[in-house]
Chains A and B, each alone.
Chain A
């Protein structure tokens, strides 16, 4: 009997290394997520069951929800814009970028009511701007391009998911916004005055995780990134299917979904590698953001950019298709 017990114990012990490959002692990796075309691959991965059980997506209404979740310690990572990553880092949340979801080349835009034909026409009007770095960044870039000062506009702090209602009630006359609200506003007749294609490789949407919560969870992080790329693959090779699903989730038509990707670059696994490294676009964008955000008071001091990103969780290039 003793011997049998011993054998069972040994079998369990022997099986332990097998379990290690797929287990996260710290529980599943909780990732904050909110609707945004660049993040849809993760939603697709979840819908098709391509995400490992080690990853849990916590869906919020906007980036603010994800940041709040990170601050409360409920999230191990989130899909955020790079500037939001810098803000979180300045608050002591040790985020590191593990993948770039998209690069805004026109997806962030300034929309105005029809009839306001030029940027200058906005002077004295109420404009909805999300009180985030991207909102401020687009606003500052827009103001600079239009030759306006911040005081020329009446800036209303309003997240995109609240903008449609405000637009319909006439509370705002312009908005700095992005998808899916942008498509909805455009459907309401809004006119595009300015967008991020004027300043590419600055507004990056990334997947970032807390470095202090990665112990024993490398597999889960890799699974998260792999899930994103698998969803991205589906979006790339079966857009007819993927975009119809996204449209159903977001209340958009197929063509609107397709249009929402017009202003975005979605780098695949090999394209992603170009963003990493000391000379990659991530560091360059972060430096620019450092300047803008410190100037706008969104950061007290520039981020040291230490351990800002790591490409170790990207799939091997040999495996990517």
Chain B
């Protein structure tokens, strides 16, 4: 069974091997004009055909695209193309191998390397170095030409110029056209492969010296001007479908081709050498991301780590440092802002307080004062700071006061009270002062903080209040409360001196009629006028008080005799009875007086004395008004009045 299968396999394979013999197609990349290439390589094809029994070798000069098309249809058996194209083809079909590398024989010196030549018009001094190529119009046969673009591109990359973006390409299709473009001025620079320049000169199509080479390389044993590094010459490629026996024969034919042979001379080669290492071309394609390396390689995290571990660690450390510092900064900022807010709050209290604030050294030297201090004391900050707080003193307090003050302060660390101080302008004023000692941890006094407020107005107000409480608002005379006070004092005095004291109750007659007729305003004016008159009739030691309405009380002190009292009473009666002119009206009232004498031996209090005077006043009213009656001596008084 297996034998049958083997036989069948052999029969099937037989026609294939027979078919493969016959015609071999040699494709050659047309890096120069097709006619030139045809003429150059036809003898080589014929030579190979002659060396291979039963085979004919057909030459086809093709573009790179045509070559690929032909390979995919298996129409090519042998191929001569540029190395980078070979790398690309091999990537599609890895069984494709370079059988040999061409030995170039132009210029008589055999070389199996090629490179790129950068040309410019002779005398163009603008372009000297590779770096000068940035932004230039550059003619090139095409991006897929190894010697016509790719070798140049690598040098540009090494010089920091992006060959895809930083230059303005002029694609001409062939090396000859590149030279023509540079000569015609269509491009400032031309990229061609090595050997072209020299070939054109030999062919008489270019005068030597017309063009100059940019970035020439110093290489020994290389007959061509070159601007780039060197790469292996073209490979002679055998497609995988060619039988091994035929391949061996082709190899023999290639390696035995002598430089003097017509096929070699016409093709301008010195024969073929064992295939060179095409790795430099592969590396070039890798660098330039040319096919088959156009895909960006997968770049894993591991690769990144392998390559940039130090940098990444540094970056991470730097980032961490930044974060830590930023956090620290933010925290510090927040603390500062809080402290600033607190300080400005406190400073605001210090600055805007209406209470004067002073801070002194333990010895009393002023360290700091606020605006209110200056307003109260009259000393500006500059005048106050550095001087002793004692400059504020008015000297009104006895030295015992200050001794007490210091003692209290030392003992309790605090003192508050009222002191008399002197302003800068000399004015003495009352001041409320609160002093607190600021101590350190050990309890030693660091400084004193004093709060001072001017209480002049407070004092005045207090006085006004006291006055209002003791005096009648209308007439300004003492009121009942002050009267009682004065009376008590007077009674005590009379007790001591034994002199007479009289209380006179004065009630106006006909006052109600004035009020009713002329209104309360006129009545009030009348009361004021009469109060003044009565006051004028009294001695300085006497007191006149208003109890309310039209009731007044006079306290007559230090009376030597009853007569002296009666003189006063008469004067009072006269004063009240005299007409008063108010707002053009002549008003007339009178007064009824009740008198009570204080008898120290008899005793009794001020209320009793007033009551007695009041009762006496009623007697005077009953007696027909405008007279006086003395308590306890009714008849006598009555008599005296009637006689008048």
Interface of A toward B, CB cutoff 8 Å: 6, 10-11, 13-18, 20-21, 48-49, 237-238, 240-241, 244-245, 247-249, 252-255, 257, 318
Contacts and interface: CB of A to CB of B under 8 A. Distances in A.
Given A237-B279, A241-B230, A21 B220 contact: no
B317 interface: yes
Contacts of A17: 313-315, 317-318, 321
Interface in B270-294: 276-277, 279-280, 283
Contacts of B317: 17
Given A13-B321, A17-B318, A17-B321, 12 more contacts: A14-B318, A14-B322, A20-B314, A240-B276, A241-B115, A241-B230, A244-B113, A244-B221, A245-B218, A248-B220, A253-B220, A253-B221
A6 B329 contact: yes
Interface in B296-315: 306, 310-311, 313-315
A244 B230 contact: yes
Contacts of B321: 13-14, 17
A229 to B, nearest CB: 15
B318 A15 contact: yes
Nearest to B220: A247
Contacts of A254: 220-222
Nearest to B233: A240
A100 B264 CA distance: 44
15 contacts: A10-B326, A16-B318, A18-B315, A18-B318, A21-B310, A48-B229, A238-B230, A240-B111, A240-B112, A240-B113, A241-B219, A241-B230, A248-B218, A248-B220, A254-B222
Contacts of B283: 237
A237 B280 contact: yes
A49 B158 contact: yes
A244 B115 CA distance: 13
B375 interface: no
Contacts, number: 79
A101 to B, nearest CB: 22
B446 interface: no
Interface in B471-496: none
A207 B311 CA distance: 27
A249 B314 CA distance: 41
Chain A interface SS verdict (over half): helix
Contact of B322 (A10, A21, A49, A240): A10
A240 B115 CA distance: 11
B314 A18 contact: yes
A240 B220 contact: no
A21 B113 CA distance: 40
B231 interface: yes
Contacts of B217: 245
Identify the 4 closest CB pairs spanning chains A and B, nearest first. Answer: A247-B220, A254-B221, A244-B219, A241-B230
A16 B317 CA distance: 10
B426 interface: no
Contacts of B115: 241
A224 to B, nearest CB: 17
B221 A247 contact: yes
B33 interface: no
A320 to B, nearest CB: 13
Nearest to B319: A14
A253 B220 CA distance: 6
A6 B325 CA distance: 10
Nearest to A18: B314
Contact of A244 (B220, B231, B276, B277): B220
Contacts of B229: 48, 238, 241
Contacts of A252: 220
Contact of B311 (A13, A14, A18, A253): A18
Interface string B436-462: 000000000000000000000000000
B155 to A, nearest CB: 10
A255 B222 CA distance: 12
B147 interface: no
Nearest to A236: B277
A13 B320 CA distance: 12
B27 interface: no
Nearest to B283: A237
Interface in B207-250: 217-222, 229-232
Nearest to B222: A244
Interface in B154-195: 158
B399 to A, nearest CB: 54
Contacts of A253: 220-221
Contacts of B322: 10-11, 14
Contacts of B311: 18, 21
A217 B111 CA distance: 43
Given A17-B314, A18-B318, A21-B310, A241 B220 contact: no
Given A6-B329, A21-B311, A244-B230, A48 B158 contact: yes
A11 B314 CA distance: 13
A318 B302 CA distance: 13
